[in-house]
Amino acid sequence: MKVIVVANNKGGVTKTTLARMLCEWYSRQGETRILCVDMDPQCSLSLRLLNMDFDSTSEHGVLPPLHPDYDPEDPADADWDGRSSIADIFYGEPVVPYPTELEHVDIAPGHGARLNEAEYVTVEESKRRVYNQLRQWFALDDVRNAYDIAVVDTPPKKGPLTIAAIRAATHVIIPTEMEQQSVEGLQRMLLLLKRENFARQDGVEARLAAIVPVKYRNVNLHKDFLSLLRGNPQIGNKIPAHKIPHSIKVAETDVPGAVPPSILDIRGPVGQEAQSICRYITQQVFDDDKT
């Protein structure tokens, strides 16, 4: 199973938008079975793909709805409250992914309060309770055999949840704006990836699949940063020839009932660039098998 993690500790650089775009892309590829995983307590990806519930008594009030397979009358479900989220891996509980409206795509949604709680632990406890959990969950036969690709969205931090995601990754995608602060975020993510790869005991590295230029405008600042990064011998070859343009049409796809609902279907350059980036990422992820 390929595990594609979208990460950047900088906020708002379109991690969730790209994670969703990839799920939509792979959904359209037919045979592939996709699991979308939301590690962000904001639950932005879950909110796009599932009718989440809200707990108004909690500041992190987003939580998964009752699972369609939950039957309160069934004695087998007696110990289950009917909700399941990826946060359950941190509490030793099973995770039951939900179907989504996208064909072939299931989601292990976030749970605002429980994901937040998983990060409120000491460093020592994180190492024991959080860092390795996602990797171990993906290694379970039930999960490994059920899906071909997992797409993981992460919070805008380098905290335990992001580390757990990077530790589980076969491939990492880092979206970045072509602006100073985002590029600083990119540099920090690259260091984190390097450190995590160094610490991997099996010697199999998480591969950097792509650094995706996002919210791109044809202004000197963006052009200059793009050529600077392309000219960098360490990472230049990880930047696709395409970039996601800045467009309000992308933000509109977040609105329930939006037409078109997917960035891939936006007419003109935005949709075309989005599709080209999906092809580039797919090539990066699956060409590894041939080498």
**Shortest CB 79 distance to ligand ATP, Å:** 33
Measure the CA–CA gap between 18 and 244, rounded to whole angstroms: 10
Please tell me the count of residues contacting Mg ion according to CB under 5 A: 3
Nearer to ligand ATP (CB atom), residue 46 or residue 96:
46
SS3 state of residue 136: helix
CB 44 within 8 A of CB 20: no
Residue 170 contact among Mg ion, ligand ATP, none, beta carbon within 5 to 8 Å by kind: none
Task: Please give the size of the binding site for ligand ATP, defined by CB under 6 A.
Answer: 19
Q: Binding residue for Mg ion (CB under 5 A) from 8, 16, 100, 176?
A: 16
Closest approach, Cβ 44 to ligand ATP, in A, equals 5
Strand pairing class (62-63; 53-54): antiparallel
Give 33 or 246: the residue with its C-beta nearer to ligand ATP.
246
Contact by Cβ (8 Å): 176, 183: yes
What six digits make up the tokens of 103?
């064909």
Question: What is the CB neighbour count within 10 angstroms for residue 198?
Answer: 8
| Burial status of residue 137 (CB atoms within 10 A of its CB: 0-12, 13-18, 19 or more) | buried
Nearer to ligand ATP, 21 or 96 (CB): 21
Query: Distances in Å between the alpha carbon of 224 and those of 78, 220, 227, 237, 241?
Result: 59, 6, 5, 17, 15
Give the binding range for Mg ion (CB under 5 A) out of 25-33, 39-47, 76-84, 142-150: 39-47
Residue with tokens 């380098």: 158
In the beta sheet, which residues pair with residue 150? Answer: 3, 35
Give the contact letters, 74-103, x = binds to ligand ATP (CB under 6 A), - = no: ------------------------------
Residue 266 C-beta: closest distance to ligand ATP, Å: 9
With respect to ligand ATP, which residue has the nearer C-beta, 20 or 238? 20
Q: Are the CB atoms for 47 and 17 separated by under 8 Å?
A: no
Binding mask 44-83 for Mg ion (x = CB under 5 A): x---------------------------------------
By residue count, the chain amounts to: 291
Using CB atoms, what's the residue nearest to Mg ion?
Answer: 16
Q: Judged by CB, which is closer to ligand ATP: 6, or 95?
A: 6
Residues 249-288 that bind ligand ATP (CB under 6 A): 250-251, 254
Q: Of 54, 56, 68, which is closest to residue 111 (Cα–Cα)?
A: 54
Over the window 33 to 52, marking each residue x when it contacts ligand ATP by CB under 6 A and - when it does not, the resulting string is -------x-x-x--------
User: H-type helices in the chain, by residue range?
Assistant: 15-27, 44-49, 112-119, 123-129, 133-138, 141-146, 160-168, 180-199, 220-230, 248-252, 269-287
Q: How far is the CB of 40 from ligand ATP (least distance, A)?
A: 6
Residue 17, binding choice from Mg ion, ligand ATP, none, Cβ under 5 to 8 Å by partner class: ligand ATP
Residue ranges binding ligand ATP (CB under 6 A): 11-17, 40, 42, 44, 156, 214-215, 244, 246-247, 250-251, 254
